[in-house]
């Protein structure tokens, strides 16, 4: 009779272990899907930052070209001896170059926010999950 009880207890433990393995597999599947969603969201966000920063760099180049054009006009007008006109062109050229510098700095800040192009949050979460699994298997 005692042997029968031991066999029944052993079957119950096997059944419980099987259920635990099934639950663990389902939870790992959900965890992996959630981590992939987080990585995708993070990469999308960084891509948008990079695109905006690159656009600002492009805009700064266009504004710098206009500034250089104004400075060239300033030099031409200065040579022709019309003082009021070249002074006005100089003021406009310097203002355009200052705007280009501001746009370049803003673009640089946006690009630095998008680097490195690695989903750091998702990687950290996966590492923490692996550590948790390692710890729970050693118990």
Statement: residue 7 has pLDDT above 80: no
The rounded percent of the chain whose pLDDT value lies above 70 is: 86
Six-digit token string for 26: 């389902």
* CA 48 to chain centroid: 8
pLDDT of the residue at 1? 46
Is 50 exceeded by the pLDDT of residue 45? yes
Q: Tokens 């019309």 sit at which residue?
A: 82
CA atoms within 13 A on the CB side of 132: 9
More confident residue, 137 or 61: 61
pLDDT confidence of 6, banded at 50, 70, 90?
low
Burial class of residue 128 (count of CB atoms within 10 Å of its CB; 0-12, 13-18, 19+): exposed
The model's pTM is 0.47
Q: What is the pLDDT of residue 85?
A: 78
Contacts 24+ apart (CB under 8 A), 55-61: 55/107, 56/103, 56/104, 56/106, 56/107, 56/110, 57/103, 57/104, 57/107, 57/108, 57/111, 59/103, 59/107, 60/100, 60/101, 60/103, 60/104, 60/107, 61/100
Among all chains, which residue has been given the structure tokens 């948008």?
48
Residue of 103 and 122 predicted with greater confidence: 103
């Amino acid at each position: 009779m005692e042997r029968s009880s031991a066999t029944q207890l052993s079957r119950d433990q096997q059944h419980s272990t099987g259920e635990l393995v099934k639950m663990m597999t389902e939870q790992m599947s959900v965890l992996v899907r959630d981590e992939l969603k987080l990585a995708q969201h993070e990469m999308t966000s960084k891509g948008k930052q990079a695109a905006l920063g690159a656009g600002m760099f492009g805009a700064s180049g266009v504004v710098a070209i206009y500034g250089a054009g104004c400075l060239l006009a300033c030099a031409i007008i200065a040579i022709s001896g019309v003082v009021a006109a070249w002074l006005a062109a100089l003021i406009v050229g310097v203002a355009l170059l200052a705007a280009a510098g501001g746009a370049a700095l803003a673009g640089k800040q946006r690009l630095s926010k998008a680097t490195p192009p690695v989903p750091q949050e998702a990687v950290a979460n996966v590492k923490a999950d692996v550590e948790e699994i390692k710890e729970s298997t050693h118990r």
